[in-house]
Structure 1
Amino acid sequence: MTIQEASDSKFGRKAIQVGEAQVRILKYAAAMESETVPLEQSMGRYLAESVTAPHPFPAFRRSGMDGYAVVAADTENCREGESVWLKVVDNIPCGAVPSERIVSGTAARIMTGAQVPEGADAVLMLEVTETRELDGIPYVGVRKPIPGGRNITPIGHELKQGEHVLAAGHQIAAGDIAVLAAFGVHAVPVVRRPKVGIFATGSELLDVKEPLQPGKIRNSNSPMLEALVREAGGVPVMLGAIADEIELARSKVQAALENYDLVITTGGVSVGDYDIMGDLVREEAGDMLFNKVAMRPGSVTTAAVRGGKLLLALSGNPGACFVGFQLFARPAIVSMQGASEPFLPEWTVVLGKDYPKVNNYTRFVRARLEVHDGSVYAFPAGIDESSVMVTIKDSDCLIIVPPEERGLPAGSKVRAMILP
């Protein structure tokens, strides 16, 4: 029996696959209740209800040109080289309602985006016309024939009344804001953002404001998790660091679970004498979802549910903490907002350089993307150990290396999770 196998046996660890771990977590990541926010505050939020068009858009026939609204049949004689003169009976700027119906022999001056008058079935470009007055009455001369329907946007061209516009679970982007505004949706139904309590564990941790001390490290994981939670749409609540005292950890975690929608801890999930989160989760085995995942880095990632609330214990190693968040915490947070797609997108990319490591578990390798000759390449980070922090900032994807691979040569096709 190997040292690792002995440790797994002692601590009751049995590795499950990443997909199974995600399924177990998402079972407890149901969407929060809905709330209504002003349109200007809805960017990035997830719709709680589907939106249908309350009216056609555009709601009137719209001119696509500055020019003249005419009866197309009046322009047919232009084919014989003759100008056709039409009496101008109206002038229609944007926002105005036409005052005259257009009949044969008449026209209306019209601006781009203005409402086309009844009777007109085409809009002539200003550039193909000339004007004159006769006895104080304006006329427009047409030098070029125009087919019916030209330069007029019909009612409902973009969306018809009752047509589906946006689905529940859709994350609102700038273009969606424009559509909602066009339909007068000034109060937007969205799913409440989950409040996420964040702890770090470890007596070795210093606050970022503290001077460095022998044997100590500054707590970099908590600020990173705060940013990641915010990026995923959650509301982070920073709860500080917990020393390696299980009674203190128990009371603080319990209080956090009572007050917040999800609790994330970092550190204390390995198999050492002071890894208190692993001990804490094992106290109530029936509540544990898993305490080992067949992945690198972050195999000791642990999850439990207490009182219906998720407790996700991530590795204290920065690289493993980051990967664990993207695989498990982020899907939970966006699912709690009703997201229709909780997982990061995956692309097939070309491996930019050799990856020599042998893997017993699926490995998620930090990497950067580059485009060369129309193909997307992923270049693995030079240093990718779970304890390494610096390469996180240089990565925009995670290469997925299947287990039992004896290294991958440059040029191989690989899957990559695209980071936000």
Structure 2
Amino acid sequence: MSDSSKASQRMSVSDSSEASERKQMGRFNRQAVKVGEAQQRVLAAAEGLVLGSELVPLRASSGRRLAQTIAATSDWPPFARSGLDGYAVRAADIAAASPDTPATLRVVDSVAAGELALATVQNGTAVRIMTGAAVPIGADAVVMLEQTAEAMLADGSPAVLIKHAGVAGQHIAPQGEEFRLGSVLACPGTLVRPGHIALLATFGYAEVAVCKRPRVAIFATGSELLAVEAPLAAGQIRDSNSFMVAAMVEQSGGVAIMCGILQDKPDAVEAAFASVWDDVDLIVTTGGVSVGDYDVMSDIIRSMKNNDASNREVENRVLFDRVAMRPGSPTSAAMFDGKLLFALSGNPGACFVGFELFVRPSLLRMQGAKEVLPRKVKAKLLTAVNKPSPHDRFVRTKLISEQDGRLLADPLAYSKSSMMASIADAEGLAVIPSGSKGAEAGEIIEVILIR
């Protein structure tokens, strides 16, 4: 087949897919919005749902988002301190020292970390000093122990031989070298990492104000679903999405509340929502968002949409009920009685993508984070993704670093919406633009990094 014939065939497939999409959209009144627009809508909604703060012990603040500005409560170091074991001296006394003509200094004191020297360093004297100890008054340099030798003066008092010349300031960390009193260490919304913990402890923050963790109710819809511990039965599968979503919620700083499996009945779903409503900040469902006869979440979203169209004052409103993406185009989001509701696909791959693109950023925004959208990098596509699509496609991929620093995106096998085999190995989502040809090997594409 010629290249032009292949292109014509791809265009025909794409046109057919787009025609099917238009027919479906007309039947169910679901207008697809671009991914970027959908993200902005949910983030605007989440902006008004930022949770309050709470004081937690320092040990419990790791992995939380700061709700206060952290500032230095003193200069750091709070005093000039020695950077190593050796002798505190006057630089002028050792300016001409060498192995052949060492400088001989009387040792007048010894100081360990946590102590203060009782003697001052004067002309011709030195103080033995340990790492981290405060530099004695009068000293302006520290000589490392390896460049010295012990000696004794004629009167029997201890002395030290300095075998190398030195300059003022050597091996001394001056007061305030790292931080000055009042210096900002971290701002609200910052994710507390181990390094922050060290700073907080250093400056005496026994308790830390952090953003409250969003409590997320997780429901799986579908009469075909079984509990994880149940034996498989004909026509049924175990609920894996709930556990995957719960892990992603916790990875995003939220508290996952597993609410079980719901039957494909709108009344049952709404009753289940009501039973947890006062105890959660956000709801995530998986399954039931397509256009089948038993897609219960689709029915609920459509009902909300119809009510919203007739009464703009209602608290319930649909943010979107279709996104221009593959997989997961039926992904939906709504404000439901003042809380965010996400209806993700029941297909594991689509569920995963929907969470990364919409739920995770919303959870981060609710915790006061500023930069919440997933990070993107440029990479060269290693193998072609030649399947046409009317929407941008998000393909699970591995990332390979080349010696020159460039990245290669290697699309994973078993990456259909319904497949889960490649989710665990995915390091990014390769963004394949919509169109009739997909993307060829060697093309430079965007890759969304997966946390």
TM-score of the two chains, using structure 1 as the length reference: 0.97
Alignment counterpart, residue 24 of structure 1, candidates 41, 52, 73: 41
The residue type equivalent to 1:10 in the other structure is R
Q: Write the distance in 2 (CA, Å) between the matches of 1:4 and 1:138.
A: 92
Match of 1:43 in 2: 62
Whether the 8 Å CA contact 1:95–1:114 is kept in 2: the answer is: yes
Compared CA separation, residues 10 and 255, structure 1 to 2 (3 A):
farther
1:204 and 2:232 matched = no
- 5 Å matches for 1:188-203? 188-203=208-223
1:13 and 2:30 matched = yes
- 5 Å matches for 1:310-321? 310-321=340-351
Match of 1:351 in 2: 381
Match of 1:391 in 2: 422
Deviation per CA, 1:290-349, whole angstroms, max 9, x where unpaired? 100001000000111022100100011111000000000111111111112112211111
Q: Write the distance in 1 (CA, Å) between the matches of 2:238 and 2:424.
A: 17
Deviation per CA, 1:156-178, whole angstroms, max 9, x where unpaired? 11111111111111111111111
Compared CA separation, residues 406 and 100, structure 1 to 2 (3 A):
same
1:248 and 2:272 matched = no
1:139 and 2:159 matched = yes
Whether the 8 Å CA contact 2:212–2:367 is kept in 1: the answer is: yes
Match of 1:103 in 2: 122
Whether the 8 Å CA contact 1:256–1:263 is kept in 2: the answer is: no
Counterpart of 1:284 in 2: which secondary structure?
A: helix
Q: Write the distance in 2 (CA, Å) between the matches of 1:236 and 1:195.
A: 6
Give structure 1 regions of 4+ aligned residues with deviation exceeding 4 angstroms: none
- 5 Å matches for 1:196-345? 196-285=216-305, 286=308, 287-345=317-375
Q: Write the distance in 2 (CA, Å) between the matches of 1:250 and 1:141.
A: 84
Higher relative strand content = 1
Q: Write the distance in 2 (CA, Å) between the matches of 1:52 and 1:268.
A: 49
Q: Write the distance in 2 (CA, Å) between the matches of 1:384 and 1:246.
A: 31
Match of 2:402 in 1: 372
Compared CA separation, residues 248 and 79, structure 1 to 2 (3 A):
closer
Deviation per CA, 1:252-295, whole angstroms, max 9, x where unpaired? 12333333100000011101111111111222222111100001
- Residue range with higher mean Cα deviation, 401-410 or 312-321: 401-410
Compared CA separation, residues 147 and 313, structure 1 to 2 (3 A):
same
Match of 1:360 in 2: 390
Q: Write the distance in 2 (CA, Å) between the matches of 1:223 and 1:65.
A: 51
Q: Write the distance in 2 (CA, Å) between the matches of 1:48 and 1:244.
A: 41
The residue type equivalent to 1:65 in the other structure is L
Q: Alpha carbon RMSD of aligned pairs, Å?
A: 1.6
Provide structure 1 residue ranges, at least 5 long, that are not aligned to the other structure.
Answer: none
Counterpart of 1:406 in 2: which secondary structure?
A: coil
Q: Write the distance in 1 (CA, Å) between the matches of 2:97 and 2:150.
A: 16
Q: Write the distance in 1 (CA, Å) between the matches of 2:237 and 2:431.
A: 30
Deviation per CA, 1:357-393, whole angstroms, max 9, x where unpaired? 1121111100111223243211112232111111111
Deviation (angstroms), 1:79: 6.2
Whether the 8 Å CA contact 1:123–1:150 is kept in 2: the answer is: yes
1:165 and 2:207 matched = no
Match of 1:33 in 2: 52
The residue type equivalent to 1:28 in the other structure is A
Q: Write the distance in 2 (CA, Å) between the matches of 1:128 and 1:388.
A: 66
| Aligned residues with identical type, % of pairs | 44
1:402 and 2:419 matched = no
Whether the 8 Å CA contact 1:14–1:291 is kept in 2: the answer is: yes
The residue type equivalent to 1:387 in the other structure is S
Counterpart of 1:407 in 2: which secondary structure?
A: coil
Compared CA separation, residues 359 and 4, structure 1 to 2 (3 A):
closer
Q: Write the distance in 1 (CA, Å) between the matches of 2:290 and 2:96.
A: 88
Q: Write the distance in 2 (CA, Å) between the matches of 1:411 and 1:405.
A: 18
Counterpart of 1:28 in 2: which secondary structure?
A: helix
The residue type equivalent to 2:60 in the other structure is Q
Q: Write the distance in 1 (CA, Å) between the matches of 2:255 and 2:167.
A: 57
Provide structure 2 residue ranges, at least 5 long, that are not aligned to the other structure.
Answer: 1-17, 309-316
- Residue range with higher mean Cα deviation, 226-235 or 400-409: 400-409
Q: Write the distance in 1 (CA, Å) between the matches of 2:235 and 2:143.
A: 80
Q: Write the distance in 2 (CA, Å) between the matches of 1:45 and 1:359.
A: 39
Q: Write the distance in 1 (CA, Å) between the matches of 2:286 and 2:407.
A: 33
The residue type equivalent to 1:389 in the other structure is M
Whether the 8 Å CA contact 1:198–1:238 is kept in 2: the answer is: yes
Alignment counterpart, residue 126 of structure 1, candidates 145, 162, 167: 145
Size of the aligned set, in residue pairs, is 420
The residue type equivalent to 2:239 in the other structure is N
Whether the 8 Å CA contact 2:99–2:163 is kept in 1: the answer is: no
Q: Write the distance in 1 (CA, Å) between the matches of 2:19 and 2:428.
A: 33
- Residue range with higher mean Cα deviation, 225-234 or 248-257: 248-257
Match of 2:87 in 1: 68
Deviation (angstroms), 1:405: 5.8
Deviation per CA, 1:109-135, whole angstroms, max 9, x where unpaired? 001111101110000111222222233
Deviation (angstroms), 1:31: 2.0
Compared CA separation, residues 150 and 211, structure 1 to 2 (3 A):
same
TM-score of the two chains, using structure 2 as the length reference: 0.90
Whether the 8 Å CA contact 1:298–1:323 is kept in 2: the answer is: yes
Q: Write the distance in 2 (CA, Å) between the matches of 1:94 and 1:42.
A: 29
Whether the 8 Å CA contact 1:28–1:308 is kept in 2: the answer is: no
